[in-house]
């Protein structure tokens, strides 16, 4: 583990700055060369660099190194893996989407790799960078790729898939902190507690606070930044400017997909339409970010190389992708801070919800968990769906795939995402979907069509996240 940590730290972009800071401390007069280890460690603690290193290790352990262990174990079991077919399906799906993008480029007679913008187009884009809703994009028929992901509802059940998912009692144990009333909340005001935690700058403490899911909105952005490890460095600012420069210099087919997605989703949403311009900036830069493909590939290192040309980021824009970024507009005024926090959240969680994979936090496992919980704890609803020959997953899939973004009001969505970050798990999505169905069970049992059920569940504006989840976890 120590060896992996050292190698991982050395591969980071800001390793050079970190090492220089340690070198400077080693030259401090208070560091005794005859007792180098103890005196240097003391200097590191006093300078605040220890907290920075601890947060760095926290991020590495919960991402890269944890992933390595998962897939090392998978590789040893590959000879008898019953889920090989599912991984193959994921790879085939990925190729199908990329082939669709390639076909679209051929039909529109544009280069899949992008092409240089004309000087007039570049100047117009730069002039309108802060108000991109006024930037004219050619209206092509872009329905091919969009029809694959985001609008197509699966027409199969998940119960037969041999993935291991938690039972309700297991979820209760995992989310136990949400039910436990801790003494310091009765002693100190929650605002004071948040300020104290942020002053300490410990990512682990910020994660612990998020488990309560009721932190004041004022502190949420800072808390998320520590947990996601998305604080901005000089390297990040330079990299953002390079991404912007790439958008300004190169015209890519995914730009048109980005504009269409924002127009079809966030621009038509009463809660997010005011952020249209910044969402264009974020998603255009996201499409150029090659680091995203590298980070996501780290989780899917068992996949074979892609057959068809992919966007620079490795992510083909799909219907609703911008809705993963939209909630962050409520947390950050700066596009740069917004971008890096959204990117970290997407790489850590969202991409698992939009690809076919066997990850325990992937969309297949989340759907399977939903079906198991519904069958076990809401048998009347399960039987009702079966009698109507409606797959229950059809009703909730749009919630699960978008992590409820665009369905819950932003204030409640951010509370739900607090819990995702606090407990580092997407399983809360399945549990929350179950409790919503339970909450409206009587109405659902009185209707007999999918359209009527969708109508009953269309408006979630009255839903409060914490009380309902606590209710679900308190069940016997």
The tens digit of pLDDT for each residue in 37-56 reads 888 888 888 888 888 888 88
State both tokens at 202: 């410990």
| 93 within domain boundaries | yes
Please identify, among 353, 376, 410, the residue that sits at the C-terminal boundary of a domain.
353
Question: What's the pLDDT score for residue 150?
Answer: 43
Is residue 191 a contact partner of residue 216, using CB atoms and an 8 Å limit?
A: yes
Residue 190 domain-assigned (yes or no):
no
Q: Could you list the residue range(s) of the whole structural domain that residue 1 is in?
A: 1-65
Q: What is the structure's pLDDT at 29?
A: 84
Same domain, 58 and 89: no
Q: Which of 424, 410, 413 is nearest to 174 (CA)?
A: 424
Distance of CA 287 to the CA centre of its chain: 15
296 and 325 in a single domain? The answer is yes
Alpha-helical runs (H) found in 28-127: 36-47, 49-60, 66-76, 84-108, 119-127
Q: Are residues 34 and 114 in the same domain?
A: no
Q: And the tokens for 386?
A: 């079966």
Please tell me whether residues 244 and 311 are part of one structural domain.
yes
Nearest to 376 by CA among 234, 476, 245: 476
Residues, the chain: 476
pLDDT at 267: 94
Kindly state whether residue 318 falls inside one of the protein's structural domains.
yes
The number of C-alpha atoms within 13 Å of 53 and in the hemisphere containing its C-beta is 16
Query: Both 8 and 43 in a single domain?
Result: yes
Rounded average pLDDT per 10-residue block, the chain, 476 residues = 83 84 86 85 88 87 56 42 69 79 79 85 94 76 46 59 88 88 57 91 93 89 95 93 96 90 94 96 96 74 51 88 97 96 96 87 93 94 94 94 96 96 96 95 95 96 93 80
Residue 180 located in a structural domain: no
Count of domains forming the chain: 2
pLDDT value, residue 178: 87
Distance CA 252, CA 113 (A): 7
Of 291, 324, 353, the one marking the end of a domain is 353
Both 123 and 255 in a single domain? yes
Residue 136 within a domain: yes
Given 14, 32, 65, which residue is the final one in a domain?
65
Q: pTM of the prediction?
A: 0.87
Residue 41 placed within a domain: yes
Q: Is the domain of 52 the same as that of 90?
A: no
Do 251 and 323 lie in one domain? The reply is: yes
58 and 98 share one domain? no
DSSP conformational letter for 210: H
Q: Are residues 53 and 91 in the same domain?
A: no
Closest-CA residue to 306 (of 24, 165, 96)? 96
Q: What is the pLDDT of residues 242-277, one digit of tens each?
A: 999 999 999 988 898 999 999 999 999 999 999 999
Which pair of tokens denotes residue 352? 């698992």
Cβ–Cβ < 8 Å for 352, 426: yes
- Are residues 15 and 118 located together in one domain of the fold? no
Rounded Cα distance between 440 and 146, Å, is 31
- Phi, psi of 234, rounded to the nearest 5 degrees: -60, -35
C-alpha 431/C-alpha 370 separation (Å) is: 7
- For residue 117, tell me if it sits in a domain: yes
Q: Is 14 contained in some domain?
A: yes
Asked if 60 and 115 sit in the same domain, the reply is no
User: Which tokens sit at 4?
Assistant: 């992996």
């Amino acid at each position: 583990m120590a060896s992996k940590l050292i190698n991982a730290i050395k591969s980071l972009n800001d390793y050079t700055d970190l090492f220089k800071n340690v070198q400077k401390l080693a030259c401090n007069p208070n560091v005794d060369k005859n007792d180098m280890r103890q005196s240097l460690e003391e200097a590191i603690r006093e300078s605040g660099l220890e907290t920075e290193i601890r947060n760095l290790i926290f991020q590495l352990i919960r991402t890269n190194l944890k992933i390595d262990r998962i897939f090392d174990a998978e590789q040893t079991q590959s000879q008898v893996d019953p889920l090989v077919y599912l991984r193959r399906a994921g790879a085939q799906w990925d190729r199908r989407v990329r082939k669709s993008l390639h076909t679209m480029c051929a039909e529109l007679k544009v280069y899949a790799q992008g092409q240089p913008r004309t000087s007039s187009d570049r100047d117009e884009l730069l002039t309108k960078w802060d108000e991109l809703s006024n930037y004219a994009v050619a209206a092509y028929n872009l329905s091919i790729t969009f029809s694959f992901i985001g609008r197509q509802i699966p027409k199969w059940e998940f119960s037969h898939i041999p993935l291991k998912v938690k039972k309700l009692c297991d979820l209760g144990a995992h989310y136990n902190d949400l039910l436990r009333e801790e003494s310091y909340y009765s002693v100190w005001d929650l605002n004071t507690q948040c300020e104290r935690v942020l002053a300490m700058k410990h990512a682990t403490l910020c994660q612990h606070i998020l488990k309560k899911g009721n932190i004041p909105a004022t502190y949420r952005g800072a808390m998320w930044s520590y947990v996601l490890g998305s604080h901005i460095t000089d390297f990040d600012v330079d990299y953002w400017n390079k991404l912007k420069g790439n958008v300004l210099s190169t015209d890519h087919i995914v730009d048109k997909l980005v504009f269409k997605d924002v127009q079809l989703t966030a621009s038509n949403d009463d809660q997010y339409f005011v952020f249209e311009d910044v969402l264009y900036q974020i998603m255009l830069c996201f499409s150029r970010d090659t680091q995203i493909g590298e980070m996501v590939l780290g989780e899917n290192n068992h996949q074979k190389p892609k057959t068809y040309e992919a966007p620079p980021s490795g992510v083909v824009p799909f219907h609703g992708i911008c809705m993963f970024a939209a909630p962050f507009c409520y947390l950050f005024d700066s596009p740069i801070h917004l971008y890096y926090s959204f990117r970290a959240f997407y790489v850590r969680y969202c991409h698992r919800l939009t690809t076919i994979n066997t990850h325990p936090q992937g969309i297949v496992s989340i759907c399977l968990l939903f079906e198991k919980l519904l069958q076990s704890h809401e048998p009347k609803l399960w039987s009702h769906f079966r009698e109507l020959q409606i797959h229950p997953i059809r009703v909730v899939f749009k919630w699960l795939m978008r992590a409820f973004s665009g369905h819950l009001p932003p204030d409640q969505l951010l509370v739900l995402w607090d819990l995702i970050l606090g407990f580092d798990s997407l399983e809360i999505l399945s549990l929350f979907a179950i409790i919503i169905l339970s909450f409206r069970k009587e109405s659902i049992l009185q209707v007999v069509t999918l359209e009527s059920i969708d109508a009953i569940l269309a408006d979630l504006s009255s839903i409060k996240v914490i009380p309902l989840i606590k209710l679900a976890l308190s069940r016997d």
